[in-house]
């Protein structure tokens, strides 16, 4: 009996020893896993920090492409490169790509940021949908297809309230279903007074008769029809996604805009033609005065792995 008891006690002791060793091993494994997760998290943070550093540099200098090599941040090293169309022809001419890596002794993590390097004010046409039978020209009147941005990657944030308030103050609010401004409307100039532009709010549709010329910033809630030989000197802004700009009437001559178009809808010159000549002065006043995204850098996507 005594011998049997000793064997049982020894077996229990051995079992507890094995369980204790197993428990210690699981504890050490858990510590290793936690340390690995912290290391991976630190590498990810370093990659993100590198991307923010590059964004700040590009904001200060849109031409900056130098990147960084092995910048130390605590126990991590950060390497950043900035790619454009010159280095990667597959990129759109207006896009930039930031590739930032953070690495330590155990892990490497990468952050990729796609940017749009250009303000909508640099374009004669900026539209969310497509443009048909429409041409764009530079400020000298030379054809330049690069001044047309169809299927825009983002839509600018416009201070509609400020525009509508300006139109109200100038008494340029058209409430009729179809607004047909007279030639020279509203005062024969893009400017209302000094450097302040004319702003007209068209609550319905805008119909510009052939041979007529109008001026200023036009906010159109409905559609815009431009007859042949009609002229708009300023900016045509259409904030509703259902709005369209069309060439209408029987006059086969093209209609033209000197300034620019910003629309959430489409532009269709089928049947005749619509020509838009870029006027930096008008677009700069519109973008800088009424847009919080008139700057040159916009983040399109952010990926991390």
Condensed to tens digits (0 to 9), the pLDDT of residues 120-143 reads 999 999 999 999 999 999 999 999
Residue 26 confidence (pLDDT): 62
Residue 118 confidence (pLDDT): 76
Handedness of CA 166, 151, 233, 181 (dihedral sign): negative
For the chain, the domains span 32-117, 120-290
Give yes or no for a contact between 127 and 263, defined as CB atoms under 8 angstroms apart: yes
Q: pLDDT by residue (tens digit) across 144-164?
A: 999 999 998 888 889 999 999
Residue 12 confidence (pLDDT): 44
Alpha-carbon span 81 to 65, nearest angstrom? 7
- Of the listed ranges 83-92, 111-120, 248-257, the least confidently predicted one is 248-257
Q: pLDDT by residue (tens digit) across 57-101?
A: 988 888 899 999 999 988 889 999 999 988 888 888 888 999 999
Alpha-carbon span 244 to 129, nearest angstrom? 9
Alpha-carbon span 185 to 232, nearest angstrom? 10
Name the pLDDT band for 14 (thresholds 50, 70, 90): very low
149 by Cβ neighbours in 10 Å (0-12 / 13-18 / 19+) ranks as buried
Q: pLDDT by residue (tens digit) across 169-208?
A: 999 999 999 999 999 999 999 999 999 999 999 999 999 9
DSSP classification of residue 31: H
Q: pLDDT by residue (tens digit) across 264-299?
A: 999 998 877 899 999 999 999 999 999 875 456 778
Which tokens hold the place of 153? 């990657």
Whole-structure pTM value: 0.75
């Amino acid at each position: 009996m005594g011998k049997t008891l000793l064997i049982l006690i020894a077996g229990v002791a051995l079992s507890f020893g094995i369980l204790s060793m197993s428990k210690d091993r699981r504890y050490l494994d858990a510590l290793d896993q936690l340390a690995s997760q912290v290391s991976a998290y630190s590498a990810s943070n370093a990659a993100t920090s590198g991307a923010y550093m590059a964004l700040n540099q590009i904001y200060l200098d849109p031409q900056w492409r130098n990147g960084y090599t092995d910048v130390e941040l605590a126990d991590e090293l950060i390497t950043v490169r900035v790619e454009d169309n010159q280095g990667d022809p597959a990129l759109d001419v207006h896009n930039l790509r930031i590739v930032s890596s953070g690495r330590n002794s155990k892990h490497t993590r990468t952050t990729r940021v796609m940017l749009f390097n250009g303000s909508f004010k640099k374009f004669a046409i900026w539209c969310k949908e497509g443009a048909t039978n429409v041409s764009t020209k530079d400020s000298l009147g030379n054809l330049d297809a690069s001044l047309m941005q169809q299927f825009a990657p983002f839509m600018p944030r416009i201070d509609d309230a400020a525009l509508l308030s300006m139109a109200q103050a100038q008494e340029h609010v058209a409430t009729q279903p179809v607004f047909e401004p007279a030639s020279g409307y509203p005062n024969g100039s893009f400017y209302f007074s000094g450097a302040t532009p004319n702003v007209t709010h068209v609550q319905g549709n805008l119909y510009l008769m052939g041979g007529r010329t109008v001026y200023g910033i036009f906010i159109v809630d409905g559609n815009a029809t431009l007859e042949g030989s009609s002229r708009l000197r300023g900016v045509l802004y259409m904030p509703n996604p259902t709005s369209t700009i069309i060439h209408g009437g029987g006059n086969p001559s093209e209609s033209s805009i000197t300034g620019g178009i910003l629309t959430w809808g489409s532009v269709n010159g089928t049947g005749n033609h619509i020509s838009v000549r870029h006027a930096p002065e008008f677009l700069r006043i519109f973008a800088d005065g009424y847009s919080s995204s008139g700057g040159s850098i916009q983040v399109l996507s952010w990926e991390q792995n």
